[in-house]
Structure 1
């Protein structure tokens, strides 16, 4: 039977374990430094509610705070609207369906959406839509009401699809990169048509459930779990975001811990089901490059920037009253989910702080 070693005097290491306390002290100092950095980021965000959740080699550190009184539930337990960062889930879903053999990515969107009644000489494919090379504008919604009135809710799925089928291309698909919420929204409807499965069921069945993301959903409810968003003044509450027919482009809302689980799966896909693991690896690969020196690389799900140690992957998002930043770095084993309940318009301290944290060596 092993006996418990004697307890040393304060500051006196055991003779037979001279390095034990030294080795334990280093991680403790690192943890304290990291918590300080996250606390600084929370303060810099100047938002009613802010959460910075960071995982390094699977070890999680979560800091929250804000300018508003604490909500009834802890901030880190609430669901936050992640806006355009939803596209990281959407891209992963396509990769999963491709690796499962259900799709190739080369399917023409118009053919899928109009039942094969039309044929195009230069069709817009699923791959064009998800990589923002479809030639579609950022938005294609005539009479878009004022932003603060939750405009997307007024454009259900049928209206989005009908507008697309009547649209005439200005540029040949695949020749120009232009970020398009509208294009990714159309992608979602085309994917649902191709599989005969509603979008919410596709995402839930192939991504959310296999990864155990039980705190992630596509709409607000009356459970009290949803964070309240605020306008650019940081004080005026705004209604919950309703993505309408733009679900694939911006409907996801999730807890910080669910988002860390999602990002950790990208860092270590081995724990996911085989087809999803293959998809998680696939969404790291660049599919196009642009800008001076081709510095800006894109996968089907992420923006990809170089660092001295290797690439970092990230995506931001914003709704009417909330913002999100998601990212991961394989070289440092780091995943970051940053969330806040304020919509910034310019000189955004939230994104600046989040990007800087992910970029740190």
Structure 2
């Protein structure tokens, strides 16, 4: 059960620890050693662990496969559910600068002919915070995706089906009362934002987030001037097709280079001077708490856990053949992006290693 969500927008600024001043060179050698050890432990064809301290970057790459023609740190990687951090920032930006408030009923945006919204309608804010009452995936998804379960299951569920499933669905719980992680809900949010702005999702994210932050090595489609990394199954031997998100773009379609991911995270660590400064501050504010002792804190975009110095923010993601971890700590000015080209497996050290690295910094 979740604690009552803090009203959004309009939440008070979060009290955060001051950022420690830069200390050039201090601890960099030790950090590099830990990054290199994490790359080796990933046991993946390609792995990159990239860290930034007050803008000073250390990038370590390696893998079990022969080095690709393009350096591993310059490949674009599928980040899966970590895409939601981009989606949350986009929503925060559209609220910060208009034209949205975050309280718009999604159904009214997707089907204006539905008439007046019900008092307990699912809003944009509910969708991004996983409090919409929607399940993880739409009803009937598994049956439709089964023929392509080991190749591209999401590709069999295009946008019209996602929207129709949402408009037909009746949530089990009143929106805003329970937390349930939902790829379905965040995907609906993407379609609702596109409808509200009259702009296709890919163009909307590019114009409002990617371009202002200078993320030239980030996109949604498996095409363009950048070379995409090739994912593999759990054994790391068998390649898998490039991920096709179907109608779930807002929940998992982003591909990015490690350097772009660090740029994205650095903007969150120190928003001052960014064209998205208001939104970057907004996505750091806690909105709801859940779990035993309400230890699990959620913002608009991130999972948030405490450390001795201050909060750390993170999100992970996976596709059929790749994994990613994104995280940052404002108190130490540290950002960490980790990617690898292998599907996760039982007792996988990849995400745990990345989480521990960030917590230690």
- C-alpha separation in 2, matches of 1:262 and 1:29: 24
**Is 1:58 matched up with 2:55?**
yes
How many angstroms apart in 2 are the aligned matches of 1:171 and 1:326? 31
Indicate which of 120, 123, 139 corresponds to 2:121. Answer: 123
Aligned partners of 2:200, 2:101: CA distance in 1, in Å?
Answer: 19
Spell out, residue by residue over 1:155-187, the C-alpha distance to the aligned partner (whole angstroms, 9 max, x if none). Answer: 111111011111122111111100000000001
Q: Paired residue for 2:5?
A: none
The structure with the largest alpha-carbon Rg is 1
Q: Which runs of 4+ in 1 moved over 4 A?
A: 26-29
Unpaired runs of 5+ residues, structure 2, are: 1-22
> Secondary structure, in 3 states, of the residue corresponding to 2:57?
strand
- SS of the residue 2:180 aligns to: coil
Which of 93, 98, 105 in structure 2 is aligned with 1:96? Answer: 93
CA pair 163-31 structure 1, distance change in 2 beyond 3 A: same
Provide the TM-score with structure 2 as the length reference: 0.90
Structure 1: how far apart are the matches of 2:133 and 2:357? 34
Segment drifting more, 63-72 vs 263-272? 263-272
Q: Which has the higher contact order (CA 8 A, sep 6+)?
A: 2
Farther off after superposition, 168-177 or 206-215: 168-177
Deviations 1:264-309 (A, max 9, x none): 0011112311xx1110011000011111111100001000000110
Contact 1:39 1:63 in 2 (8 A): yes
Partner Cα distance (1:86, 1:222) in 2: 19
For 2:288 and 2:216, the matched residues in 1 are separated by: 33
| Alpha-carbon distance between aligned partners in 2 of 1:179 and 1:141, rounded to the nearest angstrom | 15
> Structure 2: how far apart are the matches of 1:191 and 1:121?
20
Deviation, 1:224, is 6.1
Once the two structures are superposed, residues 216-256 of structure 1 have per-residue CA deviations (whole angstroms, 9 ceiling, x without a partner) of 01011275610000011111100000111100000000000
CA deviations over 1:106-142 (Å, ceiling 9, x no partner)? 0001111111424334100000000000000000151
Is 1:210 the counterpart of 2:207? The answer is: no
Q: Is the 8 A contact 1:85 1:324 kept in 2?
A: yes
Q: Calculate the TM-score normalised by the size of structure 1.
A: 0.90
Between the aligned partners of 2:24 and 2:277, the Cα distance in structure 1 is 30
- Give the 5 Å matches for 1:291-330: 291-330=291-330
How large is the Cα RMSD of the aligned pairs?
1.4
